[in-house]
Chains A and B, each alone.
Chain A
Amino acid sequence: MIEVELVTGRTLEQGATVEEKLTENYFYAVNYIELNEEDFASLKLKDGDRVKVKTKFGEVVVFAKKGDLPKGVAFMPLGPYANIVIDPNTAGTGMPKFKGVRAKIEKTEERVLSIRELLEVI
């Protein structure tokens, strides 16, 4: 288990598939987390492995990838998976804190839920 600062954001793939939300293309565009190489190694992960992302606000299983990130920072594409774990408090602005939430990451054998399943468990 490691602790990271989780940020979310747009990616080209997420954007290109945003109008086909119930397809496999979109599913794969948004159901992962990018970790710094060292962090990735410390969890003994290899490509295609799953991790559980846990924050104060929820937990979600996604695929793990190596990303060009500083150690201790993780990135998820914006979308339904990230939205389970981001901070829904808006501090009066109406906008949840999509970027910058403490998250615990651990390797898991649980499977990644489909988008339909994800909506059901919310």
Chain B
Amino acid sequence: MNIVCTFCGSVCDDGIYEEGKVKRLCKLGSSKFSIENKQRLKAPLVDGKEVSYEEAIEKAAEILVNAKRPLLYGWASTANEAIRLGVILAEKLGGIYDQCASVCHAPGVLAVIEEGLPGGTLGSIKNRAETIVFWGANPMEAHPRHGVRYSISAKGILVKDRKHRKVIVVDVRKTKTAKVADMFVQINPGSDFAIFTALRSILNGNENAVPSEVGGVKKEQLIELANILKNTKYGAILYGLGVSQSRGRDRNVEAAIKLVQLLNRFTRWVIWPMRGHYNVVGAGEIPAWEAGYQYAIDFSRGYPRFFPNEFSAVEVLKRGDCDAALVVASDPAAHFPAAAVKHLKKIPVIQIDPYINMTSLLAKIIIPSAIYGLEAEGSAYRMDGVVLRLKKVVDSPYWTDEDILELLLKRVEELKR
């Protein structure tokens, strides 16, 4: 039976599921579908006591309705149908919707606001890209089949295979991806902006303005790199968190986009972020059409407002500016800085997740849910915005996120009346 993998942003849709075993998927994907060693609750818990789904949802609705400003966070590892309900729920509650990208690729969104995003789907890269630059990205570990399916050694209609494609890695450390690349450019941490800018200077003919070394890279190597970029028929810069999470953040991405704008005056280049969770793109696309923005959205005035400095989950928590939290398909206790987790420990937290995780340790209500792609059907956005249908291949006693949120939204609407 065909399955669509719900681990990383590659959303490989060629998996095979046979009698509890998966084939073709990578280590990450295989781990996703090996559920026997994962800790899951038998039933929802309220204050550590097992209750029915209806009871847990009722209690959750009460907490959310009584909160002045609940934070609804997570959404990157659930289906589109659930995300849409989550955005509407945040609107009804006058709460805050934020999603995992806010601690991941969201600075890239700020760069898109400044410059746009000249990109392409993975299929355009697979079939057309002669040169691929992984910049601050390490797909061999974070997206293990990306290289085979879409980039490094993918077999395209116009670019036949690995032999016809040049792979360049720019990173601060010699990653596994760097080890399979044709060219590795090692840079000093936090120097991405300077290097993007130096490349633009060289391409603009202002080579003389570039010092003999930029961010740990010799000028000769920068010139060599600029020439490769310029002389490629079609290339792709695929950037990772090395660009958006280090010094400069959104400004790094902005500089990268400006480089691509410039390159398109000579030849064809696209740029795209290597998105992490399988549906983190959906967690941004859906609020964009439902509420106008991708993340850090506050509904306390009855209409959506976007301001990451104030409404992103980390800022809200650091400031102690929410009095309840609904966490869906995410683990902020493990992935937020300690300064933010502190407040999460103080407020009632409702968690909806297939698995027990660190957030479960501080949650008041835990509602276990079915695993999309295995136990539940729904849609998800691959990292390039291509939507794929996640399959249900086994039955489970768990409600889906969509079922849970549908009832939760209904109860919230009723209690609000």
Residues of A within 8 A of B (CB): 5, 7, 9-12, 15-23, 57-58, 67-70, 73, 75, 78-80, 83-84, 86-88, 90-100, 115-116, 119, 122
A-B contact count (CB 8 A): 173
Residues of A within 8 A of B318 (CB): 88
Produce 1/0 per residue, B99-119, CB < 8 A to A: 000111011001000000000
Q: Does chain A have a CB within 8 A of B336?
A: yes
Complex Cα distance A90/B82, Å?
28
Q: Does chain A have a CB within 8 A of B338?
A: yes
Task: Using known A-B contacts A9-B138, A19-B31, determine if residue A95 contacts B249 with beta carbons closer than 8 Å.
Answer: yes
Q: Does chain A have a CB within 8 A of B348?
A: no
Complex Cα distance A97/B242, Å?
11
Which of A18, A68, A95, A100 contacts B104, CB < 8 Å? Answer: A95
Contacts A95-B106, A96-B103, A99-B247 aside, 18 further interface pairs with beta carbons under 8 A come to A5-B189, A7-B189, A7-B246, A15-B7, A19-B31, A22-B360, A22-B361, A57-B338, A88-B337, A90-B312, A91-B249, A93-B250, A94-B308, A94-B309, A96-B314, A96-B336, A99-B241, A115-B334
Q: Does chain A have a CB within 8 A of B144?
A: yes
Which of A7, A21, A84, A86 contacts B356, CB < 8 Å? Answer: A21
Q: B290-306: which have CB < 8 Å to A? A: 295-296
Q: Does chain A have a CB within 8 A of B158?
A: no
Q: Does chain A have a CB within 8 A of B173?
A: yes
5 closest Cβ pairs, A-B complex: A94-B312, A94-B308, A88-B337, A99-B246, A21-B357
Kindly report which residue of chain B lies nearest to residue A68, judged by CB atoms.
B174
Would you call the interface of chain A mostly helix, strand, loop, or mixed?
A: loop
Residues of B within 8 A of A83 (CB): 334-338, 341
Which of B98, B246, B314 contacts A88, CB < 8 Å? Answer: B314
Q: B337-355: which have CB < 8 Å to A? A: 337-342, 345, 354-355
Residues of B within 8 A of A69 (CB): 173-174
A84 touches B338 (CB 8 A): yes
Produce 1/0 per residue, B179-195, CB < 8 A to A: 00000001001100000
Residues of A within 8 A of B362 (CB): 119
